[in-house]
Amino acid sequence: MLEHELTFRVLYSDTDKMGYMYYGRYAKYLEMGRVELLRTLGLSYKLMEDNGLIMPVLDLKLKYIKPLYYDEEIILKTKVTKRPSSRIHFEYELINPEGMLTTKAETTLVFVDRDTRKPCLIPDDFNQKVTLYFDEHLGEN
């Protein structure tokens, strides 16, 4: 299983009048999680896009278990638990400073050719760095 961890701080900009992080402000942090997971594998989403590939999001699920509050430092764990095919599935957990699981999320992204806007094959470097990981660690899953 591929896993990555980063920390972000809840901005005033993220809060709403309830004092919680607004439910629509999580998506940008999930984006940060998956892009940084790829970066630690040596994959730049920017380079992939420059090379003609885009990865639109197909679905998003968010389960808000506990609120996030202003200025909290939140740990975001991002995981790829399944071998990617033409799609790649990410799972996320957000942990607050008290160590409590506050949020669970999932997204599925699809590989699309930037110019034709049709689904396309998983690119070679992505395949080597992500997909093969799952082949090599087959016994562990």
**Kind of pairing, strands 53-54 and 73-80?**
unpaired
**Kind of pairing, strands 57-64 and 101-110?**
antiparallel
The distance of closest approach from Cβ of residue 11 to its own copies in the complex, given in angstroms and rounded to an integer, is 6
Cβ atoms within 10 A of the Cβ of 7, count? 9
Write the binding mask 27 to 56 for its own copies: x where contact by CB under 8 A, - elsewhere.
xx-xxx--x--------xxx--x----x-x
Q: How far is CA 109 from CA 59, 86, 87, 91, 130, in A?
A: 7, 9, 6, 12, 14
Q: Does residue 17 interact with its own copies by CB under 8 A? A: yes
Q: Does residue 22 interact with its own copies by CB under 8 A? A: yes
Which amino acid is residue 98, in one-letter code?
E
Kindly indicate which of the ranges 60-68, 75-83, 86-94, 125-133 contains the residues binding its own copies, using the contact rule CB under 8 A.
60-68
Kindly indicate which of the ranges 63-71, 84-92, 93-101, 123-131 contains the residues binding its own copies, using the contact rule CB under 8 A.
63-71
Q: Is 54 exposed, middle or buried (0-12, 13-18, 19+ CB in 10 A)?
A: middle
Q: Does residue 12 interact with its own copies by CB under 8 A? A: yes
Binding site for its own copies (CB under 8 A): 11-13, 15-20, 22-28, 30-32, 35, 44-46, 49, 54, 56-64, 67, 70-71, 107
